[in-house]
Amino acid sequence: MRRRVPALAVLAVAAATVLGGCSGGEFGGVYDLPLPGGADLGDHPYEVHVEFKDVLDLVPQAGVKVNDVAVGKVAKVGLGPDGWTADVTVEVNGDVKLPANASAQLRQSSLLGEKYVELVSPNNPAGRLANGATIPLDRTNRNPEVEEVFGALSLLLNGGGIGQIQDISKQLNSALSGNEPQIRQLLTNLNTLVSNLDAHRGDITQALDGLNRLSGTLNTQRDELAGAIDNLGPGLAVLTQQRDQLVTMLNSLSALSGVAVDTVNKSQADLIADLKDLQPTLTQLAATGQNLPKSLQLLLTFPFPDSTVAGVKGDYTNLFADLDLNLGDVVSNLGRSRQSILPQLPGLGGLTGGTSGPGNGVPLPLPTGSGGNTSSGGLGGLLGGLLGGGGH
């Protein structure tokens, strides 16, 4: 709220300022004169730098407001460090606390009123705006000027869009006259299309998210993609050089396929007959089931199959055996044990021991080693008795 100050007080302040300048102080012009009714800065104001693209006709001593309440003034308007933007220095009452991420806007008190700077607190305030802080360019803006609005309106009215509305209306009438059913059908189809798109908005969003992830992946692998594209040129050059060989290979492959097809067609009956002949063998192999694999397993591990591994302790197996290769002792032992593992032969009465006669034959004669008749002594006599006694 501005306070009314008598004109006499204003003149007194101006006279004091002029006298101060004459007494040795530096006078910078009318902008150095304090305006009556300005904001109360308090005892400890702080400065904030605000960057604007364009400050229009903002001047020093202009007001600084927060929620339409005057809290400070514009101290200086200068050029930014980059030489393209404006740097506005404002002084704010020390009792006014603003967040560090506050924004600034250049506003106008009325249609033709004065300009002032409005400081706005965001929805998510963070920290506190300190003395000497800077509000960057991305957090400032300005409203359009009255002159800009009138200029755009003048462009619209004088040969702009307003003058073309009549032509547009005539063209629309000409295009729609007599085509009402088609236009109605078009609108119906458009409504159906929009409804389907709305029903699949989740899938569309998911597809866009997937496309975003794909783009991110391609972006992370752009070096590999660039290398692959760079190496693609030499590869294409090699293929171009070997074009004749590739064409020849494909032609030969085509001829080979023709010969193979002809061979298969001519041998079709023989192949079918071979397959039919092979069917019984395959059937018997299938009927063996697990017997064939198990027998092969036992054959490969004989005489120690897998079932004997559990009885082996350590890395060796103890075996105690007496092996007698004297055939006479073998036959004698068989006779004493009265057990026969040899078939009964005619004329010998069997080899089960005991008295002679059917079922009670005597053991075979033992070899004498005297060099007598080969039919009754030694291994020859044994074989002779076995073969001759049978009448074969």
Top mean pLDDT of 56-70, 154-168, 247-261, 378-392 is at 247-261
Length of the chain: 392
**Taking a C-beta distance cutoff of 8 angstroms, is the pair 70, 1 a contact?**
yes
Residue 60, domain member (yes or no): yes
Residue 11, domain member (yes or no): yes
pLDDT of residue 200: 93
**Whether 84 and 135 share a structural domain:** yes
Residue 179, domain member (yes or no): no
pLDDT tens track for 244-275: 999 999 999 999 999 999 998 999 888 899 98
- Cα distances (Å, whole numbers) of residue 197 to 14, 205, 320: 71, 11, 90
pLDDT of residue 111: 75
Give the pairing type, strands 63-66 and 115-120: parallel
Q: pTM higher than 0.75, yes or no?
A: no
**Whether 27 and 81 share a structural domain:** no
**Whether 69 and 138 share a structural domain:** yes
- The number of helix segments (H) and strand segments (E) in the chain equals 11, 8
Mean pLDDT of the chain: 76
> CA angle 31-37-38, nearest 5°?
55
Boundary residue ending a domain (148, 178, 204)? 148
- For the cut 80, the answer to whether the pLDDT of residue 55 exceeds it is yes
**What average pLDDT does the segment 342-354 reach?**
45
**Whether 363 and 328 share a structural domain:** yes
Q: In whole angstroms, give the CA distance from residue 117 to residue 58.
A: 9
Top mean pLDDT of 37-41, 152-156, 243-247, 377-381 is at 243-247
DSSP track, 71-108: EEEEEEEEE-TTSSSEEEEEEE-TT----TT-EEEEEE
- For the cut 90, the answer to whether the pLDDT of residue 166 exceeds it is no
pLDDT of residue 80: 87
**Whether 53 and 31 share a structural domain:** no
Q: In whole angstroms, give the CA distance from residue 230 to residue 224.
A: 10
Ranges assigned E (strand) in the chain = 46-52, 63-66, 69-79, 86-92, 103-108, 115-120, 133-135, 140-142
Boundary residue ending a domain (130, 148, 166)? 148
Dihedral of CA 381/384/389/390: which sign?
A: positive
Q: pLDDT band for position 57 (50/70/90)?
A: confident
pLDDT of residue 35: 59
pLDDT tens track for 302-326: 666 666 666 666 666 666 667 767 7
- For the cut 50, the answer to whether the pLDDT of residue 380 exceeds it is no
Question: What range defines the domain where residue 120 resides?
Answer: 38-148
pLDDT tens track for 178-229: 888 888 899 999 999 999 999 999 999 999 999 999 999 999 999 999 988 8
**Whether 49 and 14 share a structural domain:** no
**Whether 85 and 25 share a structural domain:** no
pLDDT of residue 322: 72
**Whether 47 and 126 share a structural domain:** yes
- For the cut 80, the answer to whether the pLDDT of residue 71 exceeds it is yes
- For the cut 60, the answer to whether the pLDDT of residue 8 exceeds it is no
- For the cut 60, the answer to whether the pLDDT of residue 368 exceeds it is no
> What is the number of structural domains in the chain?
3
Q: Helix (H, G, I), strand (E, B), or coil: what is residue 49?
A: strand
| Top-confidence residue, 77 or 24 | 77
Question: Which among 157, 173, 73 has a CA at the least distance from the CA of 115?
Answer: 73
